[in-house]
């Protein structure tokens, strides 16, 4: 690993810590479960409705289905950052909130080109960051939460006779904090309550995937002209797993004196390094793509997770089973042509039922995605060169709509900026 790469990795990690430390969001939905679940979809297919089941790329990474690593032909380093804007609508008010973080950072290596590949990366798994209040006639409730859980993964995929098999072994780590207070505003010496819970999370998780790829149309004899049409079908998922948790917290009852000083009455609950387990759900999904990543491609996905089985020592909220259906399309006018013709255009859409349950009411999600990919080539041969990079600009416009119209609805606008390098540092040259 070169000094240049080491400096780059160090810069990325510092940037990640800085952005995450300054990130804020006001979405009240991030208080349920482990928080807002982050997508494990990278830049190359994020704009196509986040399809992963049948998506394969020789120059991009798709950890959503680790079987896709077997398609790698070039060493790839990839990074992506998100900027999210949320519009929260209540009965009589609308609030805006922003959130920014690095979406992912990963490396991919073709151990044997187009046959055996591996990837290692770091990405956020879940984010909790909310602050909101409820004011009634004579009561006041205050809710605050913050924290992030990350996933460090190592995966590999191998292809034989058109079939590819892959896995990701991941390690979750991070911490989250929850604060809640309830008080009577118009009554002196009334018994109020407040709680502060801090939870550290750690443990291993895994993902499995399989894909089958078959050429259904060979349009040229030149292997460098990427105009053949393929169909790829894939399955992905994981079983239920338990990860470790360590909880520290206190629940206090108090009253407020006329001077404004809080007087603690008792502490019904106090936890100090309490060990426990978090039950994570199983997920199963599948999908397909038809086409070619260098020409045109269309695909669809469906996945299901039984979040109703979720349990956590820091939360008593029940969740719903979730599902998501998505479609995507991408096209490149002429990958062997001039720069303007090599720009890729992508679009997609999705509909989902969230795992969130509010007052025994579910939340639906709908949205559309779009994006462009700008390819910059280093070398004379724009197709077979080993040195080039891609710049990604992706958008996602969607809504969380509770089935009870009296509850909070949310509209979000997400921008993803990504960069993928292919053998800029890793390819050893015979001549300089």
- DSSP sequence for 356-419: EEETTEEEEEEEEEEEEEEEEEESS-TTT-SEEEEEEEEEEEEEEEESSTTS-EEEEEEEEEEE
Q: Are 397 and 58 in contact (CB under 8 A)?
A: no
**The predicted structure's pLDDT at residue 269:** 74
Give the position of tokens 């045109």: 296
Q: Is pTM, for the whole model, over 0.85? A: yes
Q: Are 315 and 197 in contact (CB under 8 A)?
A: no
Beta strand 229-238 with 192-217: parallel, antiparallel or unpaired? antiparallel
Closest by CA to 213, choosing from 332, 304, 115, 340, is 115
Quote the DSSP letter at residue 115. T
Closest by CA to 32, choosing from 249, 404, 307, is 307
Can you name the residues that pair with 387 across neighbouring β-strands? 378
Cα distance between residue 2 and residue 12, in whole Å? 16
At 18, give phi and psi (nearest 5°).
-65, -50
Q: Is 425 left (phi over 0), alpha (psi -120 to 50) or beta?
A: alpha
Please report how many Cα atoms fall inside a 13 Å half-sphere around the Cα of residue 1, on the Cβ side.
Answer: 8
Go through the domains of the chain in sequence order and give each one's CATH number.
Answer: 3-422 (2.40.160.60)
Per-residue pLDDT for the chain (432 aa), expressed as one digit of tens each? Answer: 444 544 454 455 445 444 444 444 457 788 888 988 988 898 888 899 999 999 999 888 999 999 999 999 888 989 988 888 888 877 777 777 777 777 888 999 999 988 999 999 999 999 888 887 777 777 778 888 888 999 999 999 999 999 999 999 999 999 999 988 888 776 666 788 888 899 999 999 999 999 999 998 887 665 555 678 999 999 999 999 999 999 998 888 877 776 666 777 777 777 788 899 999 999 999 999 999 988 899 999 999 999 999 999 988 888 999 999 999 999 999 887 888 999 999 999 999 999 998 888 899 999 999 999 998 876 544 444 456 788 999 999 999 988 887 678 889 999 988 888 887 444 444 444
Cα distance between residue 344 and residue 135, in whole Å? 50
Cα distance between residue 404 and residue 401, in whole Å? 8
Q: What SS3 class is residue 284? A: strand
Please report how many Cα atoms fall inside a 13 Å half-sphere around the Cα of residue 286, on the Cβ side.
Answer: 7
Query: Would you state the structure tokens that stand for residue 361, as one six-digit string?
Result: 């009411």
Contacts of 97 (CB under 8 A, 6+ apart): 24, 25, 26, 27, 85, 86, 88
Q: How far is CA 241 from the centre of its chain?
A: 19
Q: Are 147 and 174 in contact (CB under 8 A)?
A: yes
**The predicted structure's pLDDT at residue 220:** 66
Contacts of 260 (CB under 8 A, 6+ apart): none
**The predicted structure's pLDDT at residue 199:** 94
Quote the DSSP letter at residue 13. H
Cα distance between residue 147 and residue 356, in whole Å? 18
Closest by CA to 130, choosing from 410, 392, 407, is 410
Cα distance between residue 9 and residue 5, in whole Å? 6
Handedness of CA 256, 261, 267, 269 (dihedral sign): positive
Distances (CA, A) of 54 to 69, 297, 298, 302: 12, 11, 10, 11
């Amino acid at each position: 690993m070169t000094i240049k790469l080491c400096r780059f990795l160090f810069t990325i990690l510092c940037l990640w810590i800085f952005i995450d430390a300054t990130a804020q969001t006001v979405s009240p939905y991030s208080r349920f479960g482990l928080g807002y679940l982050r997508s494990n979809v990278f830049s190359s297919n994020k704009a196509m409705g986040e399809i992963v089941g049948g998506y394969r790329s020789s120059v991009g990474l798709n950890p959503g289905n680790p079987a896709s690593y077997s398609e790698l032909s070039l060493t790839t380093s990839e990074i992506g950052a998100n900027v999210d804007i949320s519009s929260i609508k209540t009965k009589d008010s609308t609030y805006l909130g922003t959130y920014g973080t690095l979406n992912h950072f990963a490396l991919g290596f073709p151990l044997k080109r187009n046959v055996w590949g591996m990837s290692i990366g770091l990405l956020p798994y879940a984010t909790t960051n909310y602050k909101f209040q409820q004011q009634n006639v004579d009561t006041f409730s205050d809710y605050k939460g913050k924290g992030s859980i990350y996933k460090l993964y190592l995966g590999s995929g191998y292809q034989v006779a058109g079939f590819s098999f892959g896995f990701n072994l991941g390690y979750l780590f991070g911490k989250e904090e929850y604060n809640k207070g309830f008080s009577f505003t118009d009554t002196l010496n009334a018994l109020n309550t407040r709680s502060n819970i801090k939870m550290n999370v750690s443990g291993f998780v895994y993902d499995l995937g399989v894909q089958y790829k078959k050429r259904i149309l060979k349009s040229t004899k030149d292997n460098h002209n990427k105009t053949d049409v393929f169909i790829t079908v894939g399955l992905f998922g994981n079983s239920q797993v338990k990860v470790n948790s360590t909880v520290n917290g206190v629940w206090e009852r108090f009253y407020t004196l006329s001077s404004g000083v809080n007087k603690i009455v008792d502490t019904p609950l106090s936890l100090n390094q309490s060990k426990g387990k978090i039950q994570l759900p199983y997920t199963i999904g599948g999908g397909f793509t038809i086409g070619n990543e260098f020409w045109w491609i269309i695909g669809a996905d469906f996945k299901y997770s039984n979040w109703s089985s979720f349990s956590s020592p820091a939360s008593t909220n029940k969740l719903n089973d979730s599902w998501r259906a998505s479609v995507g399309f991408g096209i490149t006018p002429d990958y062997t042509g001039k720069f303007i013709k090599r720009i890729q255009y992508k679009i997609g859409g999705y509909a989902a039922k969230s795992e969130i349950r509010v007052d025994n009411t579910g939340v639906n999600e709908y949205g559309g995605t779009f994006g462009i990919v700008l390819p910059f080539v280093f070398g004379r041969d724009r197709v077979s060169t080993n040195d080039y990079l891609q710049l990604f600009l992706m958008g996602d416009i969607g809504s969380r709509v509770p089935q009870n119209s009296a509850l909070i609805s949310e509209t979000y606008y997400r921008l993803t900026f990504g960069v993928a390098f292919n053998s800029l540092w890793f390819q050893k040259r015979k001549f300089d």
